Structure 1
Amino acid sequence: MSSKMVINQPGPVMYMQTSADWGSGICDCWDNKAECCFAFWCCPCFACKTTERYGEPLCLPLLEYFSGIIPAITMSMRVSMRQRYGIHGSMCNDCLCATCCNPCVWCQMSREMRRRDAAVILVNSKFT
């Protein structure tokens, strides 16, 4: 009678360590020039596209035209993104950034989504 020994090796394990800071600065728009130009020349369209990618209603940023001086939708999206990804910051800083440079904030949020939602593909090779 023969016995067969089977040894199972553990598979590859990969974990992604995320930072508690934004992946890029508010003025790092030149990381993606096409996106930067799109946000600068047509910020409402870019904001709608980014909001939809984030999982919110497409036309939500258009409500910003009724919010007055402080861009409430941009600020609330930034706060929501900080909470979702565990990014440190304050509502005061979010308000200041959203008010002073709205297109730059939308570009930063788009870059952050792309960075954080990157699919990780593990390849497991078997020797036979």
Structure 2
Amino acid sequence: MSAPPQTGVPVQQGQEWSSGFWDCCSPAETCFFGWCLPCCLHGKTQSRLEDPQMKEESYMNGNCLMYFVTSYCALHWIPLMMKRGEMRKRFNIEGSGFSDCMSSYCCPCCVLVQHEKEVEAQASRHTTGYQAPLGMTYPTKQ
């Protein structure tokens, strides 16, 4: 068997999450929401992800309701797993569908806190936001 031909295009490696999976005790407010009101934290995080500037946030929205309803049926880990995969793809974070599934199923509160911290970290990296293009300029004659 021969190796596949090289295209000359380097494969871009993914990055790690900005905070560790078990680093879910700080900040205290995020920890509180993750453990006591997980549907609200999920709603807030997803609201910030949908806003390109990642500045607006709403605790009560469709994502919050979806998480609440699925947690009532003990299936809350499914939307959490799906959102985790979307975040990994969007922010080029290493991982796999299997790791998303296992972490979302085994410790959903840790996942929620890690998601919120990642959104905050990504927002701080992209603080410039939209900048209007410069006006039209004409070349000057010399």
| TM-score for both structures, normalised by structure 2 | 0.64
Task: Tell which structure's C-alpha radius of gyration is larger.
Answer: 1
Corresponding residue number in structure 2 for 1:46? 41
Alpha-carbon distance in structure 1 between the residues aligned to 2:19 and 2:38: 19
1:55 correspondence with 2:50 = yes
With 109-118 and 59-68 compared, the bigger mean Cα shift is at 59-68
Q: Runs of 5+ in structure 2 lacking a partner?
A: 1-13, 52-59, 129-142
Corresponding residue number in structure 1 for 2:106? 100
Q: Runs of 5+ in structure 1 lacking a partner?
A: 1-18, 121-128
> 1:58 Cα deviation (Å)?
2.8
Counterpart of 1:62, as a letter, is L
Alpha-carbon distance in structure 2 between the residues aligned to 1:68 and 1:30: 24
Corresponding residue number in structure 1 for 2:30? 35
Aligned-partner SS, 2:84: helix
Count of residues in Structure 1 that have an aligned counterpart in Structure 2? 103
Identity of aligned residues (%): 27
With 59-68 and 109-118 compared, the bigger mean Cα shift is at 59-68
Alpha-carbon distance in structure 1 between the residues aligned to 2:24 and 2:74: 26
Corresponding residue number in structure 2 for 1:88? 94
| TM-score for both structures, normalised by structure 1 | 0.70
Contact 2:17/2:118 (CA < 8 Å) preserved in 1? yes
- For residues 72-125 of structure 1, the C-alpha deviation after alignment (integer angstroms, 9 at most, x for no partner) is 2101110000000100100000000101111110110110111112126xxxxx
With 87-96 and 48-57 compared, the bigger mean Cα shift is at 48-57
